[in-house]
Amino acid sequence: MQKKIIKLSIILLIIFIIGVFFIGLNKNSIYDTKNLVGQKITKIELEHFSDNRIITAGDLRKNNFTLINFWASWCGPCRAEHPILLKLNEEKNLELLGVNFKDKKNNALEFLKDLGDPYDDLARDELGKHSINFGIYGIPESILINKDLVIIKKFIGPISKNDYNYIKNIVRQ
């Protein structure tokens, strides 16, 4: 009897392992930080792009919704999402905070002059240090937060038409 139990449990264990492998095979396993939604961003201290002001959490609490967008003039996909950002700027409930990432000041200004400036506020992250605070690992990346600074959604890569509609729906509610 005891032996039978041992044998049976060994067989069940093997079935379990193979089953997990089988499910694992069909699971898409590309890493992203999208599941970190719901976190509260506590420490915000961003240098303003043009003056010596520091943008803090308090500034963002004033907005109903804020879209924090990390971009740089040297980043190709940032150009692709730029028209959508310009359109998002028209939303009343949404403020856009751009964070210029590891960029040269002149290049960034030129970029905005050529393509338009969608940002209500612009910060600067010359060494990229602050990006870590927001869980950024490659640009462009954007984070939608609410009044309480809780992350509603993360957008990895350029913002698409679908993302635009999603944001529009949320901020208009």
89 binds other proteins (CB under 8 A): no
Stretch that binds other proteins, among 14-22, 56-64, 83-91, 163-171 (CB under 8 A): 14-22
Report in angstroms how near the CB of residue 65 gets to other proteins at its nearest.
21
- Is there a contact between 156 and 135 (Cβ–Cβ < 8 Å)? no
Mask for 20-59, x = binds other proteins (CB under 8 A): xxxxxxxx-x-x-x-xx--x--------------------
Report in angstroms how near the CB of residue 89 gets to other proteins at its nearest.
27
Report in angstroms how near the CB of residue 52 gets to other proteins at its nearest.
21
Report in angstroms how near the CB of residue 134 gets to other proteins at its nearest.
8
Report in angstroms how near the CB of residue 32 gets to other proteins at its nearest.
9
Say what the alpha-carbon torsion angle 36, 89, 51, 109 is, to the nearest 10 degrees.
100
If one counts every other C-beta atom within 10 angstroms of the C-beta of residue 143, the result is 25
Residue type, 21: F
104-121 exposure pattern, b = at least 16 Cβ within 10 A, e = fewer: eeeebbebbeeeebbbeb
Question: In the chain, where does DSSP find H-type helix?
Answer: 2-26, 57-61, 76-88, 105-115, 129-133, 161-172
- State the Cα–Cα distance between residues 87 and 143, nearest whole angstrom: 17
The tokens of 153 are what? 């959604």
Q: Which of residues 106-145 bind other proteins (CB under 8 A)?
A: 127-129, 131-135, 137-138
Residues forming contacts to other proteins in the complex (CB under 8 A) are: 7, 10-11, 14, 17-18, 20-27, 29, 31, 33, 35-36, 39, 74, 102, 104, 127-129, 131-135, 137-138
